[in-house]
Amino acid sequence: MIQKIKGTMDIFPDEAVLFRYLEGVMREEAEKYGFGEIRTPTFEWTDLFVRGVGDTTDVVQKEMYTFADRDEERTITLRPEGTASVARALIESGKCGDAMPQKFYYIINCFRHEKPQAGRSREFFQFGTEMFGSENPAADATAIAVAAAVLRRIGLKSVRLHLNSIGCKECRPQYRAALLSHFSAHKDRLCDTCLDRMEKNPLRLLDCKNPPCAEVAKEAPRTIDHLCPACEAHFKTLCATLEKMGISYVVDPSIVRGLDYYTRTVFEFVAEGIGAQSTVCGGGRYDGLVASLGGPELPGIGFGMGITRVILAMKAEGVEIPVAPAPKLYIAALGEAAAIEAMAITERLRREGQYVECDVVGRSLKAQMKYANKLNAAYTLILGDSEVESGRAQLRNMQDGTQTEVTLADFTLPA
Ligand code: ATP
Ligand code: MG
């Protein structure tokens, strides 16, 4: 027996209903905010993610699914996230010269070689948006508002927006120096990865989940205390805008995001009380990304929302969860002529747009009725020889038990 690969999942209809419901909400909200759907390839040249996500990140260093193509020397990688591909597509299409902003959304599968656990899988599903061409805090507020709108509409109450600014290339050097002097003083408490980060990407020191490192990180200087005047003004305007828009947040200096290309605004939506994988959405501004991929200087802002994490949060909160639709009618049949008639009526009603079921297994009448109950059919119709002969039968309302006589040739179901 061949089993599925570790960290992947099979999604059966009862769970797929939930995914489809969420995807529907995500599409509707994104489109309401003016984002259009973009579809990019599942795999790209490895270099795109090395440059776009950053070679000091865990994603690039440890988590990518990379393989040699059959007839090419360059390697290929299954996308670990969505932003780099969208930026590449934008540059490649020549749309960087079009009217700004350009707003895209996507619902994609992503691949990361991580330790599988609740809310963390190797193939996972992400809803994301990207907006290019605006440095204005209104763009940041728009991105945040889309994510907030989705979470609000789903009915999640325990999710909080954590907001921070990590500055730009103007303020970064000064902040980096302050950070390094703090961590240097506590070198003995840091893990090997963090010691390595001190050399390569000090900002990521703030992101370590190792408890002693996290302790040191807690007392570290905060990016928001070291912003240049332009970054500070940007952050202040964003905060004021969100307040006026009725989007509540907490300023959280510990949010730095794992990916290299972030500048200024970074944010996470965190579900209280669902355990370790509580970040349902993470995003931020990536003003350097497009240029670093060979495009023009074009600012951008976006987020990725983990669909399975949203589902975990919904279940933890007991939010009402949609169930698979039940058939409007189940037609039970006794005997061959009735079985054929049942197929004919079922087909007629299905063509009219109704969800109708009948027996295709050849079960006894009793077993058919039991199955109709299991499916939770709203109405049932029992066909035997006499019903087929007279062209009439009793339509039974399963909710209240009432029966109405209907003519088989042309009856319609109540709406
Ligand atoms: P984490 O800190 O949880 O590893 P991340 O910083 O790696 O998250 P991003 O790259 O920002 O996450 O991805 C955006 C969102 O995608 C996350 O907030 C999360 O909801 C979801 N996500 C990321 N990795 C996984 C995964 N392996 N399985 C399921 N969802 C994931
Ligand atoms: Mg991660």
Tens-digit pLDDT profile for residues 3-37: 999 999 999 999 999 999 999 999 999 999 999 99
Cite the residue boundaries of each domain of the chain with CATH code 3.30.930.10: 13-171+227-317
Residue nearest to atom 7 of ligand 1 (CA): 258
Q: Write the pLDDT tens digit of every residue in 72-128.
A: 889 999 999 999 999 999 999 999 999 999 999 999 999 999 999 999 999 999 999
Instruction: Please determine, for residue 309, whether its predicted confidence score (pLDDT) is greater than 90.
Output: yes
Best residue among 85, 107, 110 to mutate for probing ligand 1, ranked by most atoms within 8 Å of CB: 110
Residue 223 has a CB neighbour count (10 Å cut-off) of: 26
Q: Write the pLDDT tens digit of every residue in 209-268.
A: 789 998 999 899 999 999 999 999 999 999 999 999 999 999 998 888 766 678 999 999
CB 330 within 8 Å of CB 300: no
Q: Which atom of ligand 1 is nearest to the CA of 279?
A: 18
Mean pLDDT of the chain: 94
Q: Which atom of ligand 1 is nearest to the CA of 112?
A: 27
Distance 59 CA to ligand 2 centre (A): 7
Q: Which atom of ligand 1 is nearest to the CA of 122?
A: 27
CB 388 within 8 Å of CB 403: no
Q: Which atom of ligand 1 is nearest to the CA of 120?
A: 28
pTM to 2 decimal places = 0.92
CATH of domain 329-407: 3.40.50.800
pLDDT at 258: 64
Best residue among 56, 125, 279 to mutate for probing ligand 1, ranked by most atoms within 8 Å of CB: 279
Q: Write the pLDDT tens digit of every residue in 186-199.
A: 999 999 988 988 88
The listed CATH number (3.30.930.10, 3.30.2350.10, 3.50.50.60, 1.10.357.10) that belongs to domain 13-171+227-317: 3.30.930.10
Q: Write the pLDDT tens digit of every residue in 324-334.
A: 899 999 999 99
Cite the residue boundaries of each domain of the chain with CATH code 3.40.50.800: 329-407
Phi-psi region of 273 (alpha: psi -120 to 50; beta: other; left: phi over 0): left
**Ligand 1 — pocket residues by CB below 6 A?**
81, 112, 114, 119-121, 124, 126, 258, 277, 279-282, 304, 306, 308-309
